[in-house]
Structure 1
Amino acid sequence: MNKISSNAITKNVYFFQAGIGILANTSLLVFHIFTIHQIRRPRPTDMLTCQLAFVHIVMLLTTLDISSADTFKFLGFPNELKCKVLLYMSRVSRSFSISTTCLLSIVQVITISPSSCFLSGFKHKLTKHVTIALFCFWSLNLCSNSNRIIHTVAHSNGTNLFSVSKYCSLTSMNSTIMVIFVTLSLFQNVFFVGMMLLCSMYMVIFLCSHQRKSEYLRSISIFPRNSPAKRATRTVLVLVSFFVIMYCVDITISSFSAVLRKHEPMVLDFHTLVGNIYATVSPFVLISSDKRIADILRKVIHMCQTFQELIK
């Protein structure tokens, strides 16, 4: 009875977390798609936000599907195919979440860099560079995670299986192939996280410098408004810092699971929930800091109030 109750609670938490995250990311995606369609020259960050929201929707949906034993049963999909497709999509979306967040921090650094800095040379063709980078990241992530398609299986009575979810496992692979994929994945993650940390240091320096200038302007009775560059930099800095913290927690749990090398439901459940926190929280950070969304919400509220007054 306790096990059934625990599974029911875990399932409800999955659905609650995924539901909030999917709703928030969908709202963010729809707004930025509308913005890109309406504006002749959208910001490079609008493209990245679209990608990030889309990837997080896929991540949350695949996690929800993997966690449910009845997923795709009505379609008659075999468990083996289900595990291969869902785990591959989940892994690709998580990898792309890292690379997109990293690219978002790089774009913000380029945007705020002064004209004297060599990075300012990328500003004029930033949208083109972002498009090329996204294409390269998609190609890299699709290829670097291809081993999941081959070595993912549904749970069975076989040995030498490493559990990655409640219903799916990874089989043992050739040592040379394993070293290649592990090295590629490790280098990829270290590179992206390292770039995020470097960009974060630059943004902190920018904010400190901006703060000193603001204090000087206040001392001569000039009160500048909070600049869009400063507000956007703070948003990206919060986003990157939160990602790095959650990534470190995720790596710690993954290492613990790798040491156990067996199916531990509690560890896997906690790992899944922690792994989805960034995908759930990040859209709220981006929505709350975007004045355009706030303006639209104010207009909607005003229209609703006007409509209520007309009815009365």
Structure 2
Amino acid sequence: MLSLKNVSFFQAGIGILANASLLVFHIITRHNFHRPRPTDITICQLAFVHLVMLLIKLDISFANMFISLDFPIELKCKIFFYLSRVMRGLSMSTTCLLSIIQVITISPNSYLSRFKPKLTKHVLIAFSCIWSLNLCSNSILVIYTVAHSNRTNLLNVSKYCSLSSMNSVIKKLFFMLGLSQSAFFVGLMLLSSMYMVIFLCSHQRKSEYLHSMSISPRISPAKRATHTVLVLVSFFVIMYCVDITISSFSTVLWKYDPVVLDIQSLVGNVYASVSPLVLISSDKRIIDILKKT
């Protein structure tokens, strides 16, 4: 139990450092390069969302703030759990948006190409939509999140916080809302992944043809970026399926075992910790900055 918690905190520490570095690197590259990529602002939001997720996990910065302001423990629980759910939803929707932007970026002359000239404007509109969606869809949790007590009809969701039992109708509506939202974003990710796989396959055939013509093929920035986004989306879907399996099992039983809670926390933060490392290692601009330092 202790070793599992230590691994979880170590994971969160690595993730916080990586996401903070990714944000700083993108601020630097934005000043160094006059034409930033359309995906840059989305990657910045993804890094910020994951940074907040992992800070909540460590419960350091936020905990000190609430203690200094003398916040009641139940209000702290409501804010913490609400923020964590909102950030998890934003992680999913922002990853989905990143995959869609990459599809639009690599699309040839087609229906999607008409979005390219004003892609940044469309991205900002998409940001406002996904923030509004996640803030509103999780607002009901503020009502049902409570601090631990002696009541037996509580579902533990963290060390100090629980969910009180919901009315069956509200519970079904909340479940269907979350399920439909997840199905929508994961479905879009899978569709965009299929498109990117087709793009990579066609690019591979072109590379083989150039090689047969004794022309040295070079890995294009579009192919490199597409490969990175495809890795991120695939990894997210895998970890999301594992996380939702553990969460569904615990919710059906309406009981959280402490070990299961720690495992779910560990699994739920893997993507937030690994994704910035993937993005940093695959961005040639960041690598060039690191080489110069």
Q: Scaled by the length of structure 2, what TM-score is found?
A: 0.95
Preserved CA contact (<8 Å) 2:29 2:285? no
The answer to whether 1:171 aligns with 2:164 is yes
1:267, 1:69 → 2: CA distance? 24
Q: Deviation at 1:244?
A: 0.4
Q: Deviation at 1:174?
A: 2.8
3-state SS, counterpart of residue 170 of structure 1:
strand
1:93-148 CA-to-partner distances (Å, cap 9, x unmatched) read 00000000000000001111111x21111111111101100111001100000011
The residue number in structure 1 matching 2:218 is 225
3-state SS, counterpart of residue 175 of structure 2:
helix
The residue number in structure 1 matching 2:57 is 63
3-state SS, counterpart of residue 214 of structure 2:
coil
The aligned amino acid for 1:99 is S
**Residue number among 5, 11, 18 corresponding to 2:12 in the alignment:** 18
3-state SS, counterpart of residue 114 of structure 1:
coil
1:162-217 CA-to-partner distances (Å, cap 9, x unmatched) read 11122211112233333332222111100000010011111111101100010011
3-state SS, counterpart of residue 44 of structure 1:
coil
Distance 1:11 1:40, change over 3 A: same
Q: Deviation at 1:35?
A: 2.9
Q: CA RMSD in A?
A: 1.8
The residue number in structure 1 matching 2:92 is 98
The residue number in structure 1 matching 2:267 is 274
Preserved CA contact (<8 Å) 1:105 1:240? yes
1:184, 1:39 → 2: CA distance? 41
1:102, 1:293 → 2: CA distance? 23
Q: Deviation at 1:40?
A: 4.3
Map 1:161-200 → 2, pairs under 5 A:
161-200=154-193
The answer to whether 1:245 aligns with 2:251 is no
Preserved CA contact (<8 Å) 2:243 2:264? yes
**Residue number among 123, 126, 148 corresponding to 1:155 in the alignment:** 148
The residue number in structure 1 matching 2:103 is 109
Q: Deviation at 1:71?
A: 8.8
The answer to whether 1:215 aligns with 2:215 is no
Preserved CA contact (<8 Å) 2:29 2:286? no
Q: Scaled by the length of structure 1, what TM-score is found?
A: 0.89
Distance 1:98 1:55, change over 3 A: same
The residue number in structure 1 matching 2:288 is 295
Preserved CA contact (<8 Å) 1:43 1:127? no
The residue number in structure 1 matching 2:127 is 134
The aligned amino acid for 2:28 is F
Distance 1:166 1:22, change over 3 A: same
**Residue number among 88, 91, 95 corresponding to 2:82 in the alignment:** 88
The aligned amino acid for 2:58 is L
2:13, 2:161 → 1: CA distance? 23
The residue number in structure 2 matching 1:306 is none
1:110, 1:150 → 2: CA distance? 40
The answer to whether 1:120 aligns with 2:118 is no
Which is bigger in relative contact order (C-alpha 8 A, separation at least 6)?
2
The aligned amino acid for 2:119 is L
Q: Deviation at 1:39?
A: 4.2
1:195-244 CA-to-partner distances (Å, cap 9, x unmatched) read 10011111111101100010011001001211000000000000000000
Q: Deviation at 1:158?
A: 1.0
2:256, 2:117 → 1: CA distance? 52
1:69, 1:42 → 2: CA distance? 36
Q: Deviation at 1:73?
A: 4.5
Distance 1:70 1:35, change over 3 A: closer
Q: Deviation at 1:42?
A: 2.4
The residue number in structure 1 matching 2:71 is 77
2:210, 2:243 → 1: CA distance? 43
Preserved CA contact (<8 Å) 1:59 1:93? yes
The aligned amino acid for 1:170 is L
Gap regions ≥5 residues in structure 2: none
The aligned amino acid for 2:266 is L
The aligned amino acid for 1:285 is V
Distance 1:33 1:227, change over 3 A: same
The residue number in structure 1 matching 2:136 is 143
